[in-house]
């Protein structure tokens, strides 16, 4: 199944999309990868999702990516003795380390790491930012805050900390257990929630040990401030606009999204734009005009993937949501402005043979009207370099590594095929020519560009560029 678009669609599974038939229909509608939200998924359900996706993959004959999204720390206030209370603007309110019966004067904050880290001037946002308080004093037993935006507060409401860096790290005990289960289930990507510092990624990499890609979710102001360092330790980035929009002023989110997308693209790593892309389609069969523009902007920016959350997981119209996202992306990519915008954003290649070859392959392909760029890639590096160039020419990635082919299903413009590694230069040309024809990229007389690393089987090396012509039989190459 060959897509008619370059940007990929990441669809979240849930109550509306949990059986095999629905997962198959979502893939047919346009979902290239599936997200499993570990906030709502136990290990048994995780294994079911993965095995079901693999069954669909076997039937369609195309690699399908799977991302397990870790929950991260869920910070919540304690409980109130007599139900919800109303906090007036200017009132003082205490967050207690020890258990207390919550009332209008204060409540337990059952996270000692927060009490330890709060300092005067730090803000606390309660219930997705509906209430805002600012710390005025903290003796490490109770942190006293003044109410700046008041309202009703009740049991177990969430707490966001836009100014506070927690030393406890982003992985909870639940996350560690879920991470181990996800690796055992053989997922392709792990997404780490509530990253604040580059150090948060180190423990994840130690556990993962190269078994899958590690994606950092950018949803904290602290992560935005240290983004370049976080990017260096990540295999991919997700712009998680939900919590980012709570902790940052909303008007700043579009420019942050644009900066993160462009910086990640320049680094040659996948970037996903997520949250509320088609929020209205949870209950409506058609989107709003603003949502269509939101998707279009992400596609024009060259994001690798756009993500559906509740729209596909719990909404009433999961198939329609995927179809809508796919149709919008196709229309944008067919516009007269699309490739000129991407070309204007293209950075200079790094001063390495691999990047020079990838940049040259894109330029030659566009100059000569090449039918396809064919990348032999065991580690994924050759495919990622080709995608970083955002060529108008289709990219066909051939890999002997099935897990890598699945991982590349998230990457812009890449059509992945699992095949044996080339044994010789002649085998390289013949295999690339045959598969490009079988996958519908070429016909007799078409030319392809082949990039690879030699010696064959050497991971992470791109040092060969070859132009080949498809033979009269439509499959052999010269």
Catalytic residues: 35, 76, 217, 275
d(CA 134, CA 289): 37
DSSP state of 337: T
d(CA 77, CA 155): 7
Length of the chain: 478
Sign for the pseudo-dihedral over CA of 428, 429, 432, 435: negative
Report DSSP letters for 1-58, one per residue: ---S-SSEEEEE-STTS-SHHHHHHHHHHT--EEEEETTS--HHHHHHHHHHHHHHHH
d(CA 471, CA 224): 51
- Are the CB atoms for 453 and 352 separated by under 8 Å? no
DSSP state of 213: E
Q: Say how many Å lie between the first and final Cα of the chain, rounded.
A: 27
d(CA 163, CA 219): 13
Sign for the pseudo-dihedral over CA of 147, 150, 154, 159: negative
Q: Biggest alpha carbon distance in the chain? A: 83
d(CA 338, CA 301): 9
Write out the H or E segment, with its range, that includes residue 324.
helix 318-333
- Are the CB atoms for 321 and 281 separated by under 8 Å? yes
Q: Are strands 372-376 and 395-399 parallel, antiparallel or unpaired?
A: parallel
List, in order, residues 6 or more apart from 58 with CB less than 8 Å away. Answer: none
DSSP state of 470: B
């Amino acid at each position: 199944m060959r897509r008619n678009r370059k940007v990929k669609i990441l669809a979240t599974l849930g109550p509306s999309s949990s059986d095999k038939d629905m997962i198959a229909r979502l893939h047919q509608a346009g979902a290239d990868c599936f997200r499993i939200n570990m906030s709502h998924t136990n290990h048994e359900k995780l294994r079911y999702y993965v095995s079901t996706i693999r069954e669909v993959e076997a039937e369609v004959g195309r690699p399908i990516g799977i991302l397990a999204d870790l929950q991260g720390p869920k910070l919540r206030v304690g409980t109130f003795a007599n139900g919800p209370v109303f906090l007036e603007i200017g009132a003082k309110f205490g967050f207690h380390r020890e258990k207390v019966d919550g009332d209008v004067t204060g409540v337990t904050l059952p996270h000692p790491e927060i009490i330890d880290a709060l300092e005067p001037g730090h803000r606390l946002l309660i219930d997705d930012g509906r209430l805002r308080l600012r710390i005025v004093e903290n003796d490490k037993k109770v942190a006293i805050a003044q109410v700046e935006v008041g309202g009703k507060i009740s049991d177990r409401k969430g707490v966001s900390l836009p100014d506070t860096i927690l030393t406890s790290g982003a992985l909870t005990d639940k996350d560690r257990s879920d991470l181990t289960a996800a690796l055992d289930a053989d997922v392709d990507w792990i997404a780490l929630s509530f990253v604040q510092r580059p150090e948060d990624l180190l423990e994840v990499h130690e556990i993962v040990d190269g078994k899958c890609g590690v994606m950092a979710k950018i949803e904290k102001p602290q992560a935005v401030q240290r983004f370049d360092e976080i990017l260096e330790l990540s295999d991919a980035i997700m712009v998680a606009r939900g919590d980012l929009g709570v902790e940052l002023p909303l008007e700043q989110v579009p420019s942050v999204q644009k900066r993160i997308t462009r910086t990640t693209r320049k680094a040659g790593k996948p970037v996903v734009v997520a949250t509320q892309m088609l929020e209205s389609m949870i209950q409506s069969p058609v989107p709003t005009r603003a949502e269509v523009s939101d998707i279009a902007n992400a596609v024009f920016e060259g994001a690798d993937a756009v993500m559906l959350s509740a729209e596909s997981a719990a909404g009433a119209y999961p198939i329609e949501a995927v179809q809508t996202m796919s149709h919008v992306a196709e229309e944008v990519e067919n516009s007269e402005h699309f490739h000129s915008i991407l070309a204007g954003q293209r950075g200079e290649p790094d001063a390495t043979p691999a990047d020079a070859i990838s940049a040259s392959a894109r330029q030659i392909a566009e100059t000569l009207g090449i039918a396809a760029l064919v990348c032999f890639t065991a580690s994924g590096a050759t495919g990622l370099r080709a995608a970083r160039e955002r060529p108008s020419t289709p990219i066909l990635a051939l890999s002997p590594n099935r897990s890598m082919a699945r991982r590349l299903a998230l990457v812009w413009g890449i059509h992945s095929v699992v095949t044996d590694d080339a044994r010789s230069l002649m085998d390289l040309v013949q295999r690339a020519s045959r598969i490009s024809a079988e996958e519908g990229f070429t016909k007799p007389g078409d030319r392809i560009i082949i990039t690879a690393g030699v010696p064959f089987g050497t991971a992470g090396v791109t040092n060969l560029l070859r132009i080949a012509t498809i033979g009269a039989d439509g499959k052999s190459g010269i």
